[in-house]
Amino acid sequence: MPSIFKEGTYDQGSYARTGTLSLNGIQIETPIFMPVGTRGSVKSLTSEDINELGYNLILANTYHLYLKPGKEVFDHFHGLKNFMSYKKALLTDSGGFQVFSLASLFKFEDDGVRFQSHIDGSYHKFTPSSVIDMQRSIGSDIMMVLDDCAPYGSDTKRLELALDRTHRWAKESYEYWMENPNGQNVFPIVQGGVNEALRLRSLETLQKIDFPGIAIGGLSVGEPRPEYIRILECMAPHLDKSRPRYLMGVGTVVDILEGVKNGIDMFDCVLPTRNARNGQVFTSKGKINLRNESHRLSESPIDSECSCKVCQTYSLGYIRHLHKVKELTAFSLSTYHNLFFMQSFMEKMRKSIEIGNFQAFYEHWKNLFGS
């Protein structure tokens, strides 16, 4: 099977690299941040907004889309892209993380996970093949395998059990996917908590299978940042250069910097969009709380160095007012700005690697957003 990833430039002082991800004719420059459209929509934005922002790859969630609107709808509309009028590339999570985050509703079984819907309490079951079938209906360009994400603080026995399930299900998923690849790609998910030996075992096991890419799960789930960095550093020298590496659920500026430094190509997180709806925006000077009284009479934009249409049109004072009175427009304007910032930030990072200036870039942004 042809590779979906082409390496670009490597940073001399770290594992940071650029590259190009090719998904069914769509070219995506890496490192990349993916906005999260959990239920088939990036909250408060339209598909036209996402296109205008220049995002060629977004994420949606299999668990939520399975419950609503359901597989029948996606089969009828021939996939999520047609349903939401989005024409670029799509990645879907398998629902494995929801097993972690909604643990009280889930029960592990040998061949999958039985669970209750958080919406109506109805009973359902995910297996390695059923989540592939669901993602086939969704029509994602990158599908994730069903995995077991052990909570932070799990003992070695629980981590070993998670690895056994994750590896067994990954092999089942690969074999089932290979029966009908249909232009879609599947990534396995490396687990192992903050145990270096288990992480390396998981990475080695999964990289032996001919998946098109590799994902890293179970980080940014409550562990202290030094632990997060330690695990990234232990894996970095062992990551296969020929495949794209995806760090799941990571989206703070500092965590992305650490990820890229250690060879990660792809990131996703709800944080930029969720924070925007809660009145926090990212700027070239750091984070700003839009609801602060000090902005009440400000005629300046959110960020004087930002060229997004929000900063070119609206004052900080006006956007603060919208948040204070809970106008829906506050959500869309703040979200648009934050996603523009993330797109611009990743573009500048790629440029810094290309021109050999990544270390200075890393220090600058880590100092701004390190708190």
Q: Where are the domains of the chain?
A: 5-270, 279-336
For 318-336, the pLDDT digits (tens) are 999 999 999 999 999 999 9
For position 319, what pLDDT does the model report?
A: 98
pLDDT for 263 beyond 80: yes
pLDDT for 371 beyond 70: no
Give the three-class secondary structure for 229: helix
Structure tokens at 124: 């359902």
Check whether 234 is labelled as a binding-site residue.
Answer: no
For 56-110, the pLDDT digits (tens) are 999 999 999 999 999 999 999 999 999 999 999 999 998 877 766 777 778 888 8
For position 110, what pLDDT does the model report?
A: 87
Please tell me the CATH superfamily of domain 5-270, with its number: Queuine tRNA-ribosyltransferase-like (3.20.20.105)
Whether the CB-CB separation of 141 and 90 falls below 8 Å is answered with: yes
For 146-180, the pLDDT digits (tens) are 999 999 999 999 999 999 999 999 999 999 999 99
For position 104, what pLDDT does the model report?
A: 78
Cα distance between residue 51 and residue 48, in whole Å: 5
Is 11 one of the catalytic residues?
no
Cα distance between residue 129 and residue 146, in whole Å: 9
Whether the CB-CB separation of 62 and 93 falls below 8 Å is answered with: yes
Residue 280's DSSP bridge partners are 289
Contacts of 32 (CB under 8 A, 6+ apart): 21, 57, 265, 266, 267, 346
DSSP 151: P
Cα distance between residue 64 and residue 95, in whole Å: 8
Check whether 222 is labelled as a binding-site residue.
Answer: no
Is 133 one of the catalytic residues?
no
Catalytic residue selected from 93, 148, 255, 265: 93
Check whether 191 is labelled as a binding-site residue.
Answer: yes
For position 106, what pLDDT does the model report?
A: 86
